[in-house]
Amino acid sequence: MELIIRNAKLRGADSLVDIGIENDKFKEINKGIEAKGIKEINANGNLVSPPFIESHIHLDSALTVGFPRYNESGTLLEGIEIWGERKKYLI
């Protein structure tokens, strides 16, 4: 197999899995793939997300809706103000 991602966490899965990739396609997703990969990556139990056509995502703002408050006007200016208020809660 060309690539195996080992010890990957998938959303909703109870245990870690290995992901086998061959010819740029998912070939196998299973616990403990026995095959050896030309290249192997240990995900160390980290979340593996599906590939996206547009992979531009903002994980820094995930789960932030309504905190510290909602952007009632929907404007960029209010959004900037809200992030300014949120800064004090960031680590």
Q: Would you list the DSSP string of 55-90?
A: ----GGGTT-TTSS---SS--HHHHHHHHHHHGGG-
CA distance 31 to 48: 14
Q: What pLDDT, in 10s, does the model give residues 28-57?
A: 999 999 999 999 999 999 999 877 666 677
CA 23 to chain centre: 23
State mean pLDDT over 3-10.
97
Q: What is the percentage of the chain residues whose pLDDT exceeds 70?
A: 96
Q: What is the pTM of this model?
A: 0.57
Q: Are 29 and 17 in contact (CB under 8 A)?
A: yes
Question: When comparing pLDDT for 63 and 43, which is higher?
Answer: 43
From first CA to last CA, the distance across the chain in angstroms is 41
